[in-house]
Amino acid sequence: MSLEEFCRYLKEEKGVSPHTLRAYQTDLARFAAFLGGEPEKATLAQTRVFLAQEAKKVSKTTLARRLASLKAYFRFLKKRGKLKDERLLYLRGPKLAQRLPRVLTVDEIFALVNAPKGDDFLALRDRAILELLYGAGLRVSELVSLKLSQLSLELRVVRVKGKGSKERLAPFGREAQKALRLYLEAREALLKKRKKESPYLFLNYRAGPLTARSVHRLIKKYALFLGLPAVSPHTLRHSFATHLLEAGADLRSIQEMLGHARLSTTQRYTHLDFSHLASIYDEAHPRAKKKGKRS
């Protein structure tokens, strides 16, 4: 089956983001070029040779992504009854070091969301973006694809279409509500000025839809201004999950809010240091409490 069919399947049935789709296309195009075409006919030996050659050229992280793309394609072939050798599904990649995601403190988050100053369109928009990313724990792809019809300002909730086109309701707080209300007034004025209409919630200054790259850039700008290194939209999502857990929210609830299919994924998004976990254990576990002296 052609790579075009696989990419169409990823886009229409799996609902992957444009960024993820481009990564699959890049990896599989390299594989097809190595084989001279017809990747669906690849043997186990050919695939191993390809991965061995790639290992000499790219980092472990990129090699792991290449392998993940190939295995996704092989699973697609199996689903369609076209896989020649099921051993292709069990290829192993390099072991990657588990890196804990960076998490901002509550004070750093407050400083970041307050960084956009002024009452012009861009400042109001950026403040609303930062408040919603942190306040609802959204992925950046979810944020830029939000339409005005998906927002309920009064109920303080957005209807989000996440990975695999799965929908969920994501609540947000009063500060995000306030920021969104001010931004919506500025948005309406911008559309009137540009004599345009748009279904999208977040717009650029030309009244076009905002891109994920633009959101990355604006967050980086405010973070550098505050002296916060390596801050991305995902940093706000990690912080959202961790702060909720530290405040006593249960993992299942956080899983629902983040839109994760598996609880194990949610656990990777939390970032509690051991001292915090230990203090909770000491306070809550019956066997950790000091016993009174025996008489």
* d(C-alpha 203, C-alpha 187), whole Å: 8
Query: Considering 30, 125, 260, 271, which one is annotated as catalytic?
Result: 260
* d(C-alpha 90, C-alpha 112), whole Å: 44
Q: Is 269 a catalytic residue?
A: yes
98 residue type, one letter: Q
Structure tokens at 257: 């809010």
* d(C-alpha 131, C-alpha 104), whole Å: 14
* d(C-alpha 156, C-alpha 177), whole Å: 6
Which is nearest to 143 in space by CA: 61, 218, 32?
218
Q: Is 196 a catalytic residue?
A: no
129 residue type, one letter: I
Q: Is 163 a catalytic residue?
A: yes
Q: Is 166 a catalytic residue?
A: no
Query: Considering 139, 187, 238, 243, which one is annotated as catalytic?
Result: 139
Query: Considering 237, 238, 243, 271, which one is annotated as catalytic?
Result: 237
Work out the angle at residue 234's Cα, subtended by the Cα atoms of residues 230 and 239, and round it to the nearest 5 degrees. 90
Structure tokens at 86: 């099921």
Q: Is 234 a catalytic residue?
A: yes
Query: Considering 71, 163, 194, 220, which one is annotated as catalytic?
Result: 163
Q: Is 237 a catalytic residue?
A: yes
Work out the angle at residue 205's Cα, subtended by the Cα atoms of residues 202 and 207, and round it to the nearest 5 degrees. 60
Please name every residue paired with 200 in a beta bridge, in sequence order, or none if there are none: 147
Structure tokens at 176: 């995000």
Does residue 163 sit in helix, strand or coil?
helix
Residues noted as catalytic: 139, 163, 234, 237, 260, 269
